[in-house]
Structure 1
Amino acid sequence: MATTTETHAMRRAIALSARALGATAPNPVVGCVILDTAGEIVGEGWHRKAGGPHAEVHALRAAGEAARGGTAVVTLEPCNHTGRTGPCAQALIEAGVSRVVHAVSDPSPAASGGAATLRAAGVDVESGLLAEEAEAVNVAWLTSVRRRRPYVRWKYAATLDGRIAAADGSSRWITSAESREDVHRLRAEADAVVVGSGTLLADDPHLAVRGIRDAVQPLRVVVDSRARVTGEARVLDGAAPTLIAVSKDADTAHLPGVDVVRLPYAPDSAPGLDVSALLAELHTRGVRSVLLEGGPTLAGAFVAAGAVDAVVGYIAPALLGAGRNALGDAGISTIAQALRLDVTDVARLGPDLRITAVPAAPAADPIAPTAAQEL
């Protein structure tokens, strides 16, 4: 059973892992703390970028000989494969640690098995310490492994009556400077920012991260089935990489040198491009987390496709009474089909509220037998 010292060390490791959000794709964010035989912290580290040393290696280097006989506390099961770096399980064995405590087991087929390797070498291994907290920080990568698509966070800004623009189309600024600053944090934590052609043509957004030091710029993605974007659009200014997703028959002759991907239309006569195909393409490109900033039409398409993992709504204390709704047609025609959400956080940002929610787990079927009953 984990000690109080190990629990404190795990909380520190989780905090360290969060420092690299948005910078490690296609790898996970991981933090590690090394305790010596007396339970004192002698080394810390976190995975900073793909291709660089893993968290355990950084921490072991900092600890040196003090790691021998000590404990490694790490947010994710140490990897067991050789890629651009060597296996962390072997590095821990060679460093002479006697115990490894990890929060989350690695679900990826290529890298899992580190715990078994450590145990086979005589290392005491414990898993599951603060697993929920560690999963929350690493949710994008874990989702990408489990669902084979990027984690999608839909962000919108609206008035208290749910309008994202006035009747004349004006929308700057519905929310406060504090809320807009927080959006840049979300962008910095994402591997890609996605908008639709309607948002692009109406607002000409830049979509790059501003005001955050050393932020890795996310891929800017425009879903533009008819290739209406022009070379003057701000997303093509070179400040960050940009991808334009168009239909297979779109004319892109006016976009020389622009990274373009051709995708099929949505199935079942739904408008726009196939959301699943878009996410599969982004996953292939190493994107593990997506910030969806598109307007109501694109947001509705993602909701209809079951591809929204979290919602972040910035709600301003203002009323418009008319104008564009935050969410368009999502294939929901009756109250019974409503996508129910669990609120996970509410914060005050200047005059606004930021509400974070995730899709609620489906209610258990009272008629269906439980796993225990089936046994």
Structure 2
Amino acid sequence: PLVSGQGAARLRDAGIEVLQLAPEHPAALQAREILIGFLSRMVRQRPWVRLKVAASLDGRTALDNGASQWITGPAAREDGQHWRARASAVLTGIGTVLDDNPRLDVRSLPMPRQPLRVVLDSRWRTPPDAALFSAEGGVLVVGLAPLDAASEARQVALSAAGAHILMSPSQRDTDRIDIAWLLPELARRGVNELHVEAGATLNGHLIDGDWVDEILVYLAPKLLGPGRAMAALSPLSTLGAAWQGEVREVRQIGPDVRLIVRPPGRERF
């Protein structure tokens, strides 16, 4: 909105040749991929949502006892840091905060700024001494209106710990945060790419609601047996109702394999 077509004119006025490429030109497609989050925010008024998962060949992200460090190798974990670094914000749920106490910052790359860490925490259970608060950059805790004095006190404690507080309307007939409200709210805060690192419950909720634009999967050549799934999806009655994606890229990262999968045509907006 601040430029609205004036950029090309200003370049031409400065004596710079400007070429307008067809949308399907390889260079135009490459530029679109680089700008995918910004374009999503401008056109759809919501971030580009990328869900990252590290799993075994049998789709387990942790053992039954919660142990998950480390399913994938150092090269895959380093690669994941680059995807965090390009995001405006990293999203997780309260379950991951309580189970793993992650920092969710970028630690292995020089960063002029850290992505915003966003926690979905409907009942304000995030500990004020969580590792999230020990890293540089902001923390946004999103919850519902406190139901009692105890949850209100927890909310106040989080604010005192440095968290930015955002109260969400609940999704109809549930006590869940309304994702349809949250994504435009994050866009209004300047979030272009939203990088999700969460557990099966939040992953499943986002996929079931068709909020995920891209899935970034690191698969380790391991079989873990019983354990925690990538996503707790709603049960299906037919195979035709399955979430269907297109594999956009397959690459070996150390001993592991990285897949990038998108719903068909998701980037065409």
Per the normalisation by structure 1, the TM-score is 0.64
Give 3-state SS (helix, strand or coil) of 1:100's partner.
coil
Asked whether 1:325 is paired with 2:229, we answer yes
Whether the 8 Å contact between 2:251 and 2:258 is mirrored in structure 1 is yes
Specify the code of the residue in structure 2 equivalent to 1:156: V
The number of aligned residues is 258
Aligned mates of 2:179, 2:238 — CA distance in 1: 23
Gaps of 5+ in 2: none
Q: What is the aligned partner in structure 2 of residue 357 from structure 1? A: 261
Indicate conservation of the 8 Å contact 1:341/1:359, yes or no: yes
What SS is found at the alignment partner of 2:157?
coil
Distance 1:94 1:168 in 2: 64
From 132, 137, 156, give the equivalent of 1:235: 132
2:182 to 267, 278, 282: 278
Q: How does 1:104-253 map to 2 (within 5 A)?
A: 130-249=27-146, 250-251=151-152, 252-253=155-156
1:261-276 to 2 correspondences below 5 Å: 261-269=166-174, 272-276=176-180
1:291-310 equivalent positions in 2, closer than 5 A: 291-310=195-214
Deviation at 1:89, TM superposition (A): 3.1
The equivalent of 1:255 in structure 2 is 158
Shift of 1:361: 4.3
The equivalent residue for 2:7 is 88
CA apart distance, 1:316: 0.7
Of residues 143-152 and 306-315 in structure 1, the stretch that sits farther from structure 2 once superposed is: 143-152
Offset at 1:166? 0.4
1:227–1:246 contact (8 Å) kept in structure 2: yes
What is the DSSP-based 3-state SS (H/G/I as helix, E as strand, rest coil) of the residue aligned with 1:346?
A: strand
State the alpha-carbon separation in 1 of the partners of residues 128 and 185 from structure 2.
23
Which residue identity lines up with residue 243 of structure 1 in the other structure?
Answer: L
The higher radius of gyration belongs to 1
Partner of 1:130: helix, strand, or coil? helix
Cα distance in 1, alignment partners of residues 189 and 235 from structure 2? 29
> In structure 2, what is the equivalent of residue 15 of structure 1?
none
CA deviations on 1:111-136 (whole Å, 9 max, x unpaired) are xxxxxxxxxxxxxxxx9563222212
Query: Aligned-pair distance for 1:94?
Result: 2.5
> Is the CA contact 1:153–1:291 (under 8 Å) kept in the aligned structure 2?
yes
Task: State the identity as a percent.
Answer: 36
1:267-318 alpha-carbon deviations (Å, 9 max, x no partner): 353x621111121221111111100111111111111221100000010111
3-state secondary structure, aligned to 2:69 = coil
In structure 2, relative to structure 1, the CA distance for the partners of 1:133 and 1:142 (3 Å cut) is same
Distance 1:337 1:248 in 2: 35
Conserved 8 A contact 1:152-1:292: yes
Q: Distance in 2 between matches of 1:268 and 1:293?
A: 26
- Asked if the contact 2:52–2:195 (Cα under 8 Å) also holds between the matched residues in 1, the reply is yes
Q: C-alpha distance in 2, partners of 1:334/1:267? A: 26
What value does the CA root-mean-square deviation take over the aligned residues?
A: 2.3
- Range 326-335 or range 227-236, more displaced: 326-335
Instruction: Give the Cα separation in 2 of the matches to 1:287 and 1:104.
Output: 28
Q: Which residue of 2 aligns with 1:348?
A: 252
Contact residue 80 and residue 90 of structure 1 kept, 8 A: no
TM-score by length of 2: 0.88
How many angstroms apart in 1 are the aligned matches of 2:39 and 2:21?
Answer: 13
Say whether the 8 Å CA contact 1:191–1:290 is kept in structure 2: yes
Residues 143-200 of structure 1: CA distance to partner in whole angstroms, max 9, x if unpaired? 2222211100000101110011101111111110111101110010100000000011
AA paired with 1:195? T
The separation in 1 between residues aligned to 2:88 and 2:210, in whole angstroms, is: 20
Q: In 2, distance between residues paired with 1:296 and 1:260? A: 24
Structure 1: gaps of 5 or more residues: 1-25, 28-78, 82-86, 106-126, 363-375
CA contact (8 A) 1:304 1:331 kept: no
- CA deviation vs aligned residue, 1:186-226 (integer Å, no higher than 9, x gap): 01010000000001100000000111123531000011111
Q: Aligned equivalents of 1:242 and 1:267: distance in 2?
A: 26
